[in-house]
Structures are given as structure tokens and as C-alpha cells.
Amino acid sequence: MALIKEIRQRTGLAIGVIAGGLILFLLGGDLLSPNSSLLGNNNPVVGEIAGEDVTYQEYVDKVEEFRVAYQQRTGRAPSEVEMFSVREQAWQSMIVDKVFKEEYEKLGLTISPEELVDMVQGKNIVPELRQQLVNPQTGQFDKTQLISFLQSLETADPAQQAFWAQQEQLFADSRLRIKYDNLLGTSEYATSAEGKMEYKAANTIAETSILFVPYYAVPDSAVSVSEAEMQTYLRENKEKFQTGNTANIEYVNFSILPSAADSAEVIEEITQLTEELRNSDQDSVFVNRNSDIRPAFYTFRPGDEFPQDFTRNTDEFVEGVTYGPFVTANSTYISFKVTKKYEGTPRMRASHILFSTEGMDDVAKAGIKSQAEEVLQDLKEGGDFAAAARTYGQDGTAQQGGDLGWFAKEEFVEEFANATYARRSTGLLPNLVETEYGFHIIEVTELPQSEYTSIAVLQKELIASDATRNEAFRNADAFAAESGNRNEFSENAIDQNYRVLQANNVDAGARNLNNLQNAREIIRWAFAEASEGEVSPVFELDNAYIVASLVSKKEEGDAELADVRDQVEGQVRNDKKAALIKEALAGKSTLEEMKAVYGDDASLNEIPDLKLSSSVIPGIGFAPKAVGAIFGLSEGGMTQPIQEDIGVLVGKLNALTPAAEIADYTAYQSQLAQSGAQRVSYQVMMALEELADVKDYRYKFF
């Protein structure tokens, strides 16, 4: 509610739609699922975070927050596929609430009321609001809509005010995470010594000869693998074979793909509609009434990407001309009409490096300015702008090399906008630009452009007709009704010439079943409802009806030999083959003699430019131990036989070309720091989840 009392200017956003969407969501979806607490399931536990139970109702409440936010942002309810992402965001939010909150407090990270105001009505409005509140006439973010909306909240009902309070909290949580990730990212540092090592690894080259003996050079019959050996191997390497909650499922697929008649009908329809669009004088009304996608009328600003289906099929965008129909990658049919081209608000693109001076006195500012001028001078002498931005930048663009994207003049602080829009060519601005945020080094990457293009999009989906779907369902329903258990399932499939497909080791949280997309309900049935040998009812997927049978399922923990027999047996057999290969190569003094032992099954490879940084040997495969051993040789030396996952290798170092000394390793330092910064956020997230002992039981409910 902090913002409601500070902002007093706005009307224009349909608050009723937001509140109505919230009520609609609360009446449907997950709350009415088979495991819903509303249906008497006594609020079960869906997970544990940091030793605390997460109840079904807690989780569903959080999901509802994110679903409403999604609808408010996009203007439509999320599909089931999109709901997976919404649920994941809600779950991650709960982890952040319980795990990261303590980290934020330790570091003193906060979002002040002033910062929150700035995020929703100041100079740094969050992208979620910018994307939603666009003036349809200009295609630009309309700040007056936002101000009016926030003002109107003071007289709105409590439900609407509560919704906005949730949005404020989401914005604040998101900004805290950005601050935390940026702090971690900018804390990544590579020393000059590490930069030098990285350079040498990338530029030290060996000319080498490598003998490769694959495991198939030794026939399987030459080694035997006992049950006891496999058990011993599994016991000594159990960390390699941890299993999650998995199931083995058999199923029969009853396709509901469109028939030839269905395709002909859609082609006829899109052809007729395209002709009508060509002659229409109300393009937006026409496509919004007849297209299968919404919205169907777009205005593209300078810098916006046109639809790929459009650019792939035509090189010109002539006002008033209709193009199509074309077939899309998704087998739909689509036509485009360039309704209008016009001059609008100019937009340009630039990158910057911010040296922040917020809260500093004049002496401190002078020191920052001096540092910025040094970096600017380096860039004038040919330095890498993106690398410098990642190293020195102090805002959210740093990890993107300082790229600000396309922007209109009024979207940026006055000093910055004036400097960039005064530029008449791309490139580095010669002087620093000072704003209230600090000193900016600016590189103009695209000059202002002002051509806007409005395009009407007419798309028709190729889907199975009711007749096609009904026939497939009748067959699936009859098969399910006649199959009371797995034995009958198998017998009926054979009798009726249906192919039984297998999906083994299906993860409890999986969404797909082999190549079947969006098969979550089948997987949830297997883990939450079915017993072994049970046959499912008919499940409807996008392009098929499915009848499944649960073969078996396993709980999370150490794998049993029966679960991983093939992998363990293969590894033990390869270990034995490697020992035989090494024994056969012993006593041979040249690679040619060694190759002769296995003839055409072995290969002798000449690699003229193997790099120290490589982990893959060209023509052979992943062999990091062999690469390391080769670079540890003196010229003319030869390694011992080395066992890799792909076979046994012996390397000979013919010549070594060390990396030449260079004066400056900064670029390699920056490269290491950048790659570390890109990894650190995810790695810390995984580490904190592990420390919090996060347990996820959601697969039983969703």
C-alpha cells in the first residue's frame, strides 16, 4: 500500500478485469484438482523447505498469486503448458521466501519505499508494467495510464487493493533477487595469473599421434561379468546411480492427427479468408474476429522483430499488400497484411557503462569520474566495450555487455537522452555523460529510426475434425474398457494389432512421456493413483488419446542392481576389456606396433593442432585424461595406455608450440570473470536448496 498514498494521478486500466480474473482463478484450476483440499483431502504436504512443511493450500495460494499476475500481464489465462511454468515460479518463490530471505538480511539488501515508487512510476519502471501499458496509437509505454491506475486504487474495493499489494511485493522480491544475483556476479574475479593460464590453455598447441582402441575391438565373449562383480561395482560407485521417484509405463497411442479431409478444409478456409482480408478496410476487426490467435493485430516499432513466418516468406513489406497463406513450422496456415506504415516516435539503441555516484560526496564523485575516464580512454584505444561493461558496469545491464536495447528519448533521463539522440553516427561517445545516477560511458549501436508498421495476422490451425477425434476416442475407450489389468492390456493390444510403447524410468516430475508432449496427467496418475498392473482411463493429449498401464515404480534413493543392470554390466565389462587391451599393448614400443594388435578395429590418428584447453580429441571423442597426459610429455614421449569412457588411448607428443607471451591478459581475465558470473547465480541457488534440504512432493498432486 505504500504506493497508493504517494501516487495521485491515473485512470485507464481495467481494475475490474484484474479482480474478476483473480476470482475466476480462485474458482478453478488447481483448487478443483483431484487432490484439492476443497474436496476433502485434509490439506496434505507438497514439500519441505528448510525443515518446514509446505502444505497444499500454502502452495496453491502462491500459485494463484502468480496465475493472476500472469493474466494481468498478458490479458489471458495461462494454458496448461504455461501453468507448469507458473507453478515452478511459485515454488521457486517459496524457496526464495524461506531460504533467500535470510541471505538478504545478512547482506543488508532491502527495497526502500523510494525505490519501490521509482519502480512503478519513476524513471526505472519495471518491465512488467512497461509491457502491459502501451498506447495502441503510438506503440509506446503510456505512463499516464499507470499513474491513473494507481490513483484509482485509493477508492477501489479491498480485494483490488490487496491484489496490487501482492504485485508490489512481487516487484520488490524480483528486484531483491536481481540485486543479489548482480552482487554475486560482480563479486566474481579472475586474477591476472588466471587470465594468463586461460590464454596459455587456449593457445598452447600440440602436434600429436594418438592410438585409439575402442571397447568393441574386444568381443563381449572374451570377458564374463558375474553377479557378484556387478554388485561390488554398484556398492563402490553408488553415488553414480542414485535414482529419483521413477516409474515404468506401457501405453497405446490412438492418434487424433488431422486427416487429409481436415487439411483440405482448412486450406479452403484460409484461402477464402485471405482474399477477404485483402479487400477489407477494417483489418484489425477482421483478423481479431477470424484468426485463431489473439491478439491478431500488431504494431512493430523500430527494433522490434517481425514474425519469422513473415520474414521467411517475403523480403518486402509494402503497405496495403496481403501476403500468404503460408505454412508455418507448426503446420498451421498464416497470412499477413501490411495495414499501415507511418512515422512515429523515434527509437534508437545504445549500450552504456554506469559508474554509480548515488549517495556520494563531491570528493568521492571525483574519484569515480577519474576511474570512468581511464576506462573511456582504454575503449578509445580499441578496448572491448562489452567486456568493460561486464567488468565495471554497476546496473542490471552489466551482464548483457551494457546493452540497453531500443528506447525512445522520453524513456531516459534527460542528460542521457540528449547525448545519445544528438549523435549522428554509431560508435563511442567521446565524453562521459553525467546524470543523477552517475557517470556513463555510452556507445550508440543503432541511430534513431521512426518507421512503425501495423500488421494484421490471420492464422488458422490445422486440427482434427470432430469426426476424426470421435473415431479415435471410440477405439481408445473400447480398448480401456476391455483391459482390466496389464495382462489383458497386452493381450488385447496383440489381438487388435495395437502397438504397445514403453516409457522406462519416467521421472515423477516429468511432463513428457517419450515423445508425447504435455503428458503430465498420465504421469501423475501413475505416481498418485495407480497400483502396479493397473490400466488407466483414456487420457486426452494434444494429438492423441492414450491408454496406459503401470508396470512398476520406484522410490527415491540408492539404485538396486535390477534398476541399473545394463549400465553396471556395461561398465564392468568395459573395465575388463580395458585391462585386456592394456595387457595386449604392453611391451610394444611404437604406436604402429600397438595398432597392429587390433588391426582395423583400432585407429592411428594424427592431430596437428590439439589445444591444451580441449577435452575432446577430434575424430575420437571426449578424452580429458588423455589430453592432460599428452601435454605432460616431453617432445617425442609417449603416454601409458589410458582408459577413457570411449576406449583406451595412447598418445605421443611429436611437437609442442607453447603460447607466445603477450603484454596484456585482461581479455582472458574478463572472459573468466564473465563465465563465472553467468554460473554463480544458478550454483548458489542449487547450493542453498541443498543446504535447505528442499524436498518436492508436488508430483503427487500436479
Residue pLDDT, tens place only, 461-495: 888 888 889 999 999 999 999 999 999 999 999 99
Q: C-alpha angle with apex 508: 504 to 514, nearest 5 degrees?
A: 40
Confidence grade of residue 42 (pLDDT, cut at 50, 70, 90) = low
Average pLDDT over residues 605-630: 94
Of the candidate ranges 11-20, 34-43, 185-194, the one whose mean pLDDT is the lowest: 11-20
Please name the residue that has the C-alpha cell 549522428.
424
Contact indicator for 292, 461 with CB cutoff of 8 Å: yes
CA distance 477 to 516: 19
Cis amide linkage into residue 295, ω under 30° from 0: yes
Q: Is the pLDDT of residue 349 over 90?
A: yes
By CB neighbour count within 10 A (0-12 exposed, 13-18 middle, 19+ buried), where does 266 fall? buried
Taking only the tens place, the pLDDT of each residue in 648-689 is 999 999 999 999 988 888 888 888 888 888 888 888 888 887
Strands 52-55 and 45-49, how do they pair? antiparallel
Domains of the chain by range and CATH?
109-186 (no CATH), 205-241+564-657 (no CATH), 245-257+465-555 (3.10.50), 258-463 (3.10.50.40)
| Residue found under cell 478485469 | 17
**Residue carrying C-alpha cell 496383440:** 494
- The length of the chain, given as a count of residues: 702
Strand 246-255 relative to strand 297-300, pairing: unpaired
Reported as a single tens digit per residue, the pLDDT across 292-317 is 987 899 999 999 999 889 988 888 88
Q: Does 4 score more than 70 pLDDT? A: no
Mean pLDDT of 348-376: 92
Torsion angle in degrees (nearest 10) through CA of 540, 541, 546, 550 = -100
State pLDDT tens for residues 519-552.
989 999 999 889 999 999 999 987 899 999 999 8
Q: Is the pLDDT of residue 19 over 70?
A: no
Q: Residue 24 has what pLDDT?
A: 35
Is 291 in contact with 457 (CB distance < 8 Å)? yes
Amino acid at 333: Y
d(CA 254, CA 496): 12
Is the pTM higher than 0.85? no
Expressed in percent and rounded to 5, the helix, strand and coil fractions of the chain are: 50, 20, 30
Query: Taking residues 170-182, what's their average pLDDT?
Result: 85
- Read off the pLDDT band of 173 (50, 70, 90): confident
Question: In terms of C-beta density within 10 A (0-12 exposed, 13-18 middle, 19 or more buried), how is residue 521 classed?
Answer: middle
Residue-wise burial string across 44-81, b where 16 or more C-beta atoms lie within 10 A, e elsewhere: eebbebeeeebbbebbbebbbbbbbbbbbeeeebbeee
Residue 623: pLDDT over 60: yes
Q: By the 8 A CB rule, do 512 and 532 touch?
A: no
Peptide bond between residue 537 and the one before it cis (omega within 30 degrees of 0): no
Specify the pLDDT at position 139: 66
Coil vs helix vs strand at 220: helix
* Mean of per-residue pLDDT scores for the chain: 86
d(CA 474, CA 256): 11
Quote the pLDDT of residue 34: 42
Calpha distance 313→64 (Å, rounded): 41
How far apart are alpha carbons 505 and 520 in whole angstroms?
15
Residue 136 banded pLDDT, cuts 50, 70, 90: low
595387457: which residue's cell? 583
pLDDT, tens digit, 9 for 90 and up, residues 414-433: 999 999 999 999 999 999 99
The answer, yes or no, to whether residue 509 has pLDDT greater than 90, is no
Question: To the nearest whole percent, how much of the chain has pLDDT over 70?
Answer: 93
Give the pLDDT confidence of 544-592 residue by residue, as tens digits. Answer: 999 999 998 887 766 778 778 888 999 999 999 999 999 999 999 999 9
- pLDDT value at residue 611: 94
Q: Are 532 and 553 in contact (CB under 8 A)?
A: yes
Residue 597: burial class (beta carbons within 10 Å; 0-12, 13-18, 19+): middle
- Give the three-class secondary structure for 225: coil
Burial state string for 485-520 with b = 16 or more CB within 10 A and e = fewer than 16: ebeebeebbeeeebeebebeebebbbeebeebebbb
Residues 6+ away with beta carbon under 8 Å from 121: 3, 7, 143, 146, 147, 150
Average confidence (pLDDT) over 600-608: 95
Task: State yes or no: pLDDT of 147 exceeds 90.
Answer: no
The CA–CA distances, whole Å, from 360 to 222, 375, 463 equal 76, 20, 63
Indicate if the pLDDT at residue 31 is higher than 90.
Answer: no
Nearest to 460 by CA among 282, 262, 257, 284: 262
**Which of 56-63's residues contact partners 24+ apart within 8 Å by CB, and which partners?**
56/701, 58/94, 59/90, 59/91, 59/94, 59/698, 60/30, 60/31, 60/36, 62/90, 62/91, 62/93, 62/94, 63/30, 63/87, 63/90
DSSP state at residue 535? B
